[in-house]
Amino acid sequence: MDIALRQRRRAGLEFLGSVQHFAGRTLQATAGATYRTAVPNPPLGLDERRDSVYSVLDGNAPWEFDRFLTRWVAEEIYVRALPAIEEIRDGVEQWLEVAEPSGTLTLDDELVPPAYWEEGFHLAPGGWDGHDLMGPAISELVFAYVLTPGGVGAVRAGENLNDQRSQVAGETRRTDYRHVVELGASSGRFTFALRRRLPQSRITAVELSASALRHGHALASTRDADIDFVQAPAEDTGLESGTADLVACYTLMHEIPVSENRKVIAEAYRLLEPGGHLLISEIAPYEHQDAFRSVVLDWETENRGEPYWREVMAHDWVAELKNAGFVDVESYGVGGGVYPWVTRATKPSL
């Protein structure tokens, strides 16, 4: 989507990206080095790690400014992005009205969102559909100007969000899938990576946000990408059982409670045909992070609109998948690191 922002709006968003980049690349790195030098053998438990990091870095300027600026940017992006999208509303709405669609868009005007949907993800005012143009505002403005250069959550400053999605798409066990279902697709950043990886597959992208779905559908149409976008919760898609040979999701699990994630896993199992594959990308569990990094990530739980982050990151999802009936379960960091983190599993053949 070609968005022509006024110079003042664009500069304001670019400033936030620069602040976020400085906080993550310089301030956070400095604070981390200070902590690791002071505590060469940190504790293993999350509570003990938090106590250790906050005690050692109490009054440490790089640490406290990094946390302050990260929170400020998280709030300020909507203060700047939503008025910016309003100024070009007519053009955006015209673009969203797809004249020659690729694939389909199925919205459910009677859908009752699950309780967790009311939590206001990422501090977005009113939640992911708190503004009727939230989808393009986040994907075209927040991601482009702030989060891509600045990093966010587990994505470090200087890393490319879209490249990471392509890396995860490259971890599918095959390239000849007949029908792929993506859960929690948002505006389709991972969906398009799957489309590039699997050009012959039918892809159904399931998402709760009507704004994100409209945006993803319009993007797919401009790219001639044949994708079916469906509004539904990931734990109850309404799609036919046993009709997918790949179910995938990208950073969905930390957005919802453990209890609902169990339902998502059960739904994935139901959707898959025997022998079908599951591909999940998430943030690596805390046990795979060092002490400082795990505390930085855990901070999101109370401070950046991620209420379910802690419980999900501390949970044993490999065991959960096995309990749900999946086999050949494996978890690993793509490229040998800890992010992106991938879990793959298979529904047993008959």
Q: Are strands 272-282 and 341-346 parallel, antiparallel or unpaired?
A: antiparallel
Q: Where are the beta strands (DSSP E) in the chain?
A: 104-106, 179-183, 202-207, 227-231, 244-250, 272-282, 327-333, 341-346
What's the pLDDT tens digit per position in 44-92?
Answer: 999 999 999 999 999 999 999 999 999 999 999 999 999 999 999 999 9
pLDDT at 280: 98
**Domain with residues 7-346, CATH architecture:** 3-Layer(aba) Sandwich (3.40)
Q: Residues near 263 by Cβ (< 8 Å), separated by ≥ 6?
A: 235, 236
pLDDT at 160: 84
Query: Across the strands, what pairs with 207?
Result: 231
pLDDT at 277: 98
pLDDT at 61: 98
Burial label for 28, CB within 10 Å (0-12, 13-18, 19+), is buried
pLDDT at 3: 73
Decide: pTM greater than 0.75: yes
Domain range list for the chain = 7-346
**Residues of the chain predicted below pLDDT 50:** none
Q: What share of the chain is helix, strand, coil (3-state, %, to 5)?
A: 50, 15, 35
What whole-number distance in Å separates Cα of residue 348 and Cα of residue 350?
6
DSSP character at residue 230: E
pLDDT at 191: 97
